[in-house]
A and B are shown apart, each in its own frame.
Chain A
Amino acid sequence: MEPARHATEQTLMRELGLDTQNIDRRKRHFTFGPDDVVKLVALRPIVAAHAAELVDVFFDQLVAIDEAKTLLSNHELTDRARTMKREHLLAMVGGTYDASYVEQRLRLGLLYARAGLDTRVFLGAFQALVRSVGVRVMREGGAEAFDRFTSFEKLAFFDVSIILDVLVYERERTIRQQQEAIRELSTPVLQLRNRLLLLPIIGVIDTHRAQLITDGLLRSIRANRARVAVMDVTGVATIDSKVAHHLLQTVSAARLMGAHVIVTGLSSDVAQSLVAIGLDVGRFNTVGDLQGGLEEAERILGFEIVQRQGDHGVRVG
């Protein structure tokens, strides 16, 4: 387990671009220099003496907040978080703030991310912790207390910047995974009648998916010898100008292959945004809804649907 976890943090550090250079740059943002290290080390006795109490402050703050319940309801996770928070606190006054220090922050950040800890909640609790340290230091830190606490604060912000990066990155990872999932939902091309294809599109279309749709449609036109294809975009909430342009190209390309494309189900939002984009809508053969589109397609193909007299009901048995 341990080596694997280690690997995760290493990857994460790479993905976040946290190399030695980046860490140095980050420290410069907080004007964190060698004299800060000296001052932090001087705080070590105070923080070490009150470590347990300070960790409690952090978790007491969490207990008071509903959003943190996921983290706290899991005892194993809480215990680990407590241990790590204590290590974190001691490391803050430990004097070395290198890559392995950052890695420790990442590990904590990852733990919060997995527990679904909200950034607001985390910031609140962390602020409480820093405040308590401040109170302690002011009370017992002697003449240089304020300077020393300033150094501590710099480091605290440095840590927060890393943990926030992890939280945000993990959240973005979820979004990326969902996008991937949507993309992988195939866009089927269905033969509805002889020489009539139906292409229902659901979800988000980005440039990549638009490309897949174009490819799939054109290949199916050839394979099924289609003359009409109905592209139904009822399930598409937004179409941006790039995608609209791509769809237009698809329509034109299908046209070159001798097939009509009928676009149906443009929602009012999509329709208005297409007009706002200034797209040449005339090039789209559009019909309001899927039913209308299919009727239009059947008309082009010369089909005529007739309902038999006296046969309106569903027969049972």
Chain B
Amino acid sequence: MVPVLKFGDVLVASILAALSDEDLDELRCEVVESVGRFRARGVIIDVTALDVLDSFATRTLRGIAHAAQLRGADTIVVGIQPDVAVAMVQLGLGLEDITTALDVEDGMTLLDERRRSRHGS
């Protein structure tokens, strides 16, 4: 199970161990549902602990991002490891339209910047 923590208006889902496809599905429902419940403006999904991101996981991440977007929250995927990144690129599993960041802290900063630039404009 993946805990979804709330920091202000940001939700942080830290994946701590390899997930089965069912777990991923469950995570998607949970996150998308929580965005509405907590009126979140940002979602951070932390995959630091994962050694592998396969096509299903990539698709799920993309699904979360798009669905959260529709409910008014930006999604940032953080903590992709170097080896995982190389493997994903070689397998052609991109996250083209999804923002990534180095770790949770950076993800937070990025969300802050976005909010500020939106308010500024």
| B-binding residues in A (CB < 8 A) | 214-215, 218-219, 221-222, 225-227, 249, 252-259
Cα distance A255–B100 when bound, in Å?
7
Evaluate contact between B106 and A222: CB separation under 8 angstroms.
no
Evaluate contact between B89 and A253: CB separation under 8 angstroms.
yes
Task: Given A219-B82, A222-B82, check contact A256 B88 (CB 8 Å).
Answer: yes
Task: Given A215-B82, A256-B80, check contact A225 B102 (CB 8 Å).
Answer: yes
Contacts of B84 in A (CB 8 A): 256
Most chain A C-beta atoms within 10 Å of own C-beta, residue among B78, B101, B102, B106: B102
Contacts of B103 in A (CB 8 A): 225
Interface class of chain A by DSSP: helix
Evaluate contact between B88 and A258: CB separation under 8 angstroms.
no
CB distance from B83 to the nearest CB of A (A): 8
Check B94 for interface membership: any CB of A closer than 8 A: yes
Interface size on B, residues (CB 8 A): 19
- Within 8 Å by CB of B100, from A226, A249, A256, lies A256
Cα distance A256–B76 when bound, in Å?
11
Interface string of B99-121 (1 = CB under 8 A from A): 11111001100000000000000
Evaluate contact between B102 and A256: CB separation under 8 angstroms.
no
Cα distance A255–B94 when bound, in Å?
10
Most chain A C-beta atoms within 10 Å of own C-beta, residue among B82, B84, B102: B82
Cα distance A214–B81 when bound, in Å?
13
Cα distance A218–B103 when bound, in Å?
14
Cα distance A87–B84 when bound, in Å?
63
Evaluate contact between B106 and A257: CB separation under 8 angstroms.
no
Check B20 for interface membership: any CB of A closer than 8 A: no
CB distance from A255 to the nearest CB of B (A): 7
Contacts of A256 in B (CB 8 A): 80, 84-85, 88-89, 94-95, 100
A225 and chain B: residue at smallest CB distance: B102
CB distance from A10 to the nearest CB of B (A): 42
Cα distance A65–B71 when bound, in Å?
84
Check B86 for interface membership: any CB of A closer than 8 A: yes
Task: Given A215-B82, A218-B82, A222-B82, check contact A252 B106 (CB 8 Å).
Answer: no
B53 and chain A: residue at smallest CB distance: A256
